């Protein structure tokens, strides 16, 4: 789950370099908002679309944004009540 950390730390650093402490604070909160939006989008997809599909199919076709794979997998695991296929 390195993606959410990279987004928040990267945004905070960029904000600090651009505008000092005020920029760091604003950009850090924007990064947190983005991470929350990805989590909300994953939960909404799993609740509305994933529940209409067979659990294994839903797991296989669930959208996974770059760098957020592990993060959204944890959300899908809780919402879809089905983990990755066992081999």
Under the banding of pLDDT at 50, 70 and 90, the label for residue 6 is very high
Question: Domain spans of the chain?
Answer: 2-80
Q: What pLDDT score does 81 carry?
A: 74
Mean pLDDT of the chain, nearest integer: 88
Cβ-in-10-Å burial (0-12, 13-18, 19+) of 81 comes to exposed
User: From CA 21, how far away is CA 23, in angstroms rounded?
Assistant: 5
Summarize the confidence of residues 82-86 as an average pLDDT.
62
Q: What pLDDT score does 40 carry?
A: 93
Cβ-in-10-Å burial (0-12, 13-18, 19+) of 26 comes to middle
C-alpha separations of 79 from 3, 20, 43 in Å? 21, 40, 7
Question: What are the tens digits of pLDDT across the range 25-44?
Answer: 999 999 999 999 999 999 99
């Amino acid at each position: 789950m390195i993606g959410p950390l990279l987004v928040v730390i990267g945004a905070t650093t960029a904000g600090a370099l651009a505008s000092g402490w005020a920029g760091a604070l604003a950009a850090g909160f924007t990064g947190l908002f983005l991470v929350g939006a990805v989590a909300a989008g994953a939960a909404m997809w799993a609740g509305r679309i994933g529940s209409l599909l067979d659990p294994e199919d839903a797991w296989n076709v669930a959208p996974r944004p770059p760098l957020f794979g592990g993060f959204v997998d944890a959300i899908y695991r809780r919402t879809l009540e089905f983990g990755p296929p066992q081999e």
